[in-house]
Amino acid sequence: MTEQGEVIENPEIIEVNIDLKLSPCKNKIKLLSNGLISNGDDHATTALLILNQHIDIGQLFIKIWHNSSLRVCADGAANRLYDFFEDDEEERLKYKPDYIIGDLDSIKDDVFKYYQSLGVVIIKQTTQYSTDFTKCVNLISIHYNSPSFKQFLQDHKLESNHGIELERGIHEFYNSMMNEIKSVTTIPSINLVVINGIGGRFDQTIHSITQLYNLKQKDPYFQMSFITNTDIIILISKNGTILEFDPNFRKQCIGNCGLLPIGEPTIIIETIGLKWDVKNWDTSISTGKVSSNNRFVGGNKCYFHVEDDLVLNIEIFLDKVIEYI
Ligand SMILES: Nc1ncnc2c1ncn2[C@@H]1O[C@H](COP(=O)(O)OP(=O)(O)OP(=O)(O)O)[C@@H](O)[C@H]1O
Ligand SMILES: Cc1ncc(C[n+]2csc(CCO)c2C)c(N)n1
């Protein structure tokens, strides 16, 4: 039996030219030289979501913070933000999140009081049918898209929980907002950078990956990426995607990559710009046919054409990224 599909081994550096007549390209994303992923829309804004694990990306964290127009902590992530500054009270004060949200079973009392005293909006949501991660994502959507949410917070600022229903008020707010705005407006793009969601507990990590697929369906205006101290992780959409990067950044800061069909088996119709490019290559976790340990050899871009969305991880050398920015 012959293996399906084709693997083409390329030299260490190649020029990538994409003939758009043969290789469709619906999506363009950029890997910026500060390690952030942008959907290529110059008007997009960036939001930072901090989850509850140790912040281990050093000065890259500070860089991402300053690059963001909104910063949200999921429950116990507020402890991690607080601890990041160790005993440097002056620095800690400069990094005030916009919101802390979750069931609030993980945030420490003194951290709660600290951020409350700084005027951070802290929202309790007790439902045990969604994670703090999902609560955060809904809140971020509302923050950017609801014409009335900021006014609502202002009007209810003296009430307990800012007047938001305790169990699933944010989810309800989100649902009714989405019903209202879907028909009327085009929603601006948001580059959503998530830290601390990968590694650590395995179910939490898999839940993070589900968010990549889920957001693509429910809130496609998010370009979501996970950043860890070893990787950037994104979803590559079907219908053809060009990923652009700065050639020097690639050389100095990027290592291996993997095309990971975590959500479902699929066919990689074509890649252009990998050390091991593939054509009509069926890939699945259960057969073990997965392109891991691959790398970018396209000087400034790489092209992916996949039949179904799949996960891409890009290895970053954190120290080099921090040096580079
Ligand atoms: N060990 C971990 N590994 C990966 N992600 C994590 C881990 N712990 C927490 N997170 C992420 O941080 C978010 C906030 O976590 P927190 O500890 O405050 O609450 P939790 O009770 O563990 O999470 P949840 O309430 O969502 O179940 C979680 O929703 C999850 O996305
Ligand atoms: C089928 C099913 N499995 C697990 C949970 C538990 N759960 C999912 S999200 C969440 C909130 C954590 O803050 C909890 C406890 C559930 N509700 N339903």
pLDDT tens-digit series, residues 275-315 = 999 999 999 999 999 999 999 999 999 999 999 999 999 99
Q: Which numbered ligand comes closest to the C-alpha of 51?
A: 1
Among protein residues, the one whose CA lies closest to atom 8 of ligand 2 = 129
Closest ligand 1 atom to the C-alpha of 75?
Answer: 18
Among protein residues, the one whose CA lies closest to atom 1 of ligand 2 = 129
Pocket, ligand 1, Cβ cutoff 6 A = 51-53, 74-77, 102-103, 105-106, 131-133, 197, 200-201, 204-205
Closest ligand 2 atom to the C-alpha of 130?
Answer: 9
Fold observed for domain 1-26+237-325:
Jelly Rolls (2.60.120)
Mean pLDDT over 90-94 rounds to 98
Per the listing, tokens 């007790």 go with 126
Q: For residue 236, what are the contacts with CB-CB under 8 A and spacing of at least 6? A: 243, 259, 304, 306, 309, 310, 311, 312
Expressed in angstroms and rounded, the spacing between residue 68 Cα and the centre of ligand 1 is 22
Mean pLDDT over 75-87 rounds to 98
* Beta bridge partners of residue 7, listed in sequence order: 278
pLDDT of residue 179 exceeding 90, the answer is no
Expressed in angstroms and rounded, the spacing between residue 131 Cα and the centre of ligand 1 is 7
Better-scored residue on pLDDT, 180 or 49: 49
Contact yes or no for 24/305 (Cβ under 8 A) = yes
Q: Which of 124, 128, 168 to mutate to test the pocket of ligand 2 (most atoms within 8 A of CB)?
A: 128
Q: Which numbered ligand comes closest to the C-alpha of 52?
A: 1
pLDDT of residue 255 exceeding 80, the answer is yes
Confidence at residue 1, expressed as pLDDT on a 0 to 100 scale = 45
Distance CA 138, CA 317 (A): 32
The interface pTM score, or ipTM, of the predicted complex is: 0.93
Beta strands 190-195 and 276-283 are unpaired
pLDDT of residue 79 exceeding 90, the answer is yes
From the CB of 129, is ligand 2 less than 6 Å away?
yes
From the CB of 103, is ligand 2 less than 6 Å away?
yes
Closest ligand 2 atom to the C-alpha of 129?
Answer: 17
Q: What's the farthest any 2 CA atoms get from each other in the chain?
A: 71
200: left (phi over 0), alpha (psi -120 to 50) or beta: left
Expressed in angstroms and rounded, the spacing between residue 81 Cα and the centre of ligand 1 is 14
Confidence (pTM): 0.96
Among 118-122, 181-185, 193-197, the least confident range: 181-185
Confidence at residue 22, expressed as pLDDT on a 0 to 100 scale = 87
* Beta bridge partners of residue 256, listed in sequence order: 295
Per-residue model confidence as pLDDT tens digits over 16-37 = 999 888 888 888 999 988 878 8
Confidence at residue 160, expressed as pLDDT on a 0 to 100 scale = 96
pLDDT of residue 3 exceeding 80, the answer is no
Q: Which of 103, 129, 133, 208 to mutate to test the pocket of ligand 2 (most atoms within 8 A of CB)?
A: 129
Which of 308, 211, 312, 194 lies closest to 254, judged by CA?
A: 312
Confidence at residue 185, expressed as pLDDT on a 0 to 100 scale = 65
**Where do the structural domains in the chain lie, given as residue ranges?**
1-26+237-325, 44-230
Among protein residues, the one whose CA lies closest to atom 15 of ligand 2 = 128
Closest ligand 2 atom to the C-alpha of 132?
Answer: 13
Q: Does domain 44-230 have CATH number 3.30.360.10?
A: no
3-state secondary structure the chain: CCCCCEEEECCCCECCCCCCCCCCCCEEEEECCCCCEECCCCCCEEEEEECCCCCCCCHHHHHHHHHCCEEEEECCHHHHHHHHCCCCHHHHHHCCCCEEEECCCCCCHHHHHHHHHCCCEEEECCCCCCCHHHHHHHHHHHHHHCCCHHHHHHHCCCCHHHHCCCCCHHHHHHHHHHHHHCCCCCCCCEEEEEECCCCCCHHHHHHHHHHHHHHHHHCCCEEEEEECCCEEEEEECCCCEEEEECHHHHHHHEEEEEEECCCCCEEEEEEECECEEEEEEEEECCCCECEEEEEECECCEEEEEECCCEEEEEEECHHHHHHHC
Looking at every residue in the chain, the average pLDDT score rounds to 95
